[in-house]
Amino acid sequence: MAGKISIGQYYPVDSKIHRLDPRSKLLWVLIFVIVLFNIKEVSSYIIAIVSLGIIVKTSKVPFLLILKSLKHILFIMIFTAGLNIFLTDGTIVLFEYKFIQITKEGLQFASLIIVRLIALVISSSLLTLTTKPMELTIAIEKLLKPLKIIGIPSHDIAMIMTIALSFIPTLIDEMEKIMKAQISRGSDFETGTLIERVKSLLPILVPLFVSSFRRADDLAMAMESRCYRGDINRSKMKDIKFKKEDYIFFGFLFLVIVIINIV
């Protein structure tokens, strides 16, 4: 089951995106998110999506594997799109019945919201699929290193974030196993009132939390037995540094931003 989940997993293949410095990919995701939340024109969205498609193609990661991560936000996409369709005012009314009104502007805005969410999930999934967890930890730590001046433990934050990402596939896999076990015992998660369906989730959530705490305790004991002491006198067997490919990648990103601002 874990192989069906793309978020938090690393896909081992030799590509130009895989060979990039993990800081480059982290900064790309952050800049891409900021750009997506600031553009308004359809043409700008098209350019952003095309640039994302080029990066996905260059990464050699199967597109279907990336798309599988979208099923986990399907409800959020439908809910968000529905709110924008029915609550966005506009001048061109396409459908109206009593208090329900659907406008052309509402449909357009809802479509752009869906495109934005899909692009966000694909870009974040691509980050973990093309970056090893340890490299991601080092990248986050180096980017947050200036914050150590004011007493913020950058290494601990980086380690927590990386462990959380790597635990996502494991927890989803565990949840699916528990659900199948409960269904085989006659549990029903699809029918009944909303309160009954919420109550039916308790046999899933309780063992899932117990399993999560057990895995966290095992991980803590394993790290302690290997004398892990955070960032104290800690060296790195393989450090990361910017290469020629990273500057070319930033040049491509800068070109995309310039084109988006021009159109």
Give the separation between CA 124 and CA 192, rounded to whole angstroms: 36
Give the separation between CA 232 and CA 204, rounded to whole angstroms: 39
For residue 167, which of 135, 212, 201 has the smallest C-alpha distance? 212
Render each residue's pLDDT in the chain as its tens digit; 263 residues. 444 455 557 888 999 999 999 999 999 999 999 998 888 888 888 999 999 999 999 999 988 888 877 776 777 788 888 777 777 776 777 777 776 777 877 888 888 888 888 898 889 889 888 988 778 878 888 888 887 788 777 777 877 877 777 777 778 778 888 888 888 887 776 776 767 777 777 888 888 888 888 888 888 888 888 877 766 666 666 678 889 999 999 999 999 999 988 87
Output the six-digit token pair for 45: 């969205």
> Residue 168: CA atoms inside 13 Å, Cβ hemisphere, count?
18
Q: Report DSSP letters for 56-103, one per residue.
A: HHHHT--HHHHHGGGGGGHHHHHHHHHHHHHH---SSEEEEETTEEEE
In sequence order, the β-bridge partners of residue 103 are 93
Distance from the first to the final alpha carbon of the chain? 44
In sequence order, the β-bridge partners of residue 101 are 96
Output the six-digit token pair for 132: 């090893």
Distances in whole angstroms, Cα of residue 199 to Cα of each of 190, 209, 212? 12, 16, 20
In sequence order, the β-bridge partners of residue 93 are 103
pLDDT at 1: 40
- Report pTM: 0.71
Is residue 213 exposed (0-12), middle (13-18) or buried (19+ Cβ within 10 Å)? exposed
C-beta of residue 89 within 8 angstroms of C-beta of residue 118: no
Type of residue at 148: K
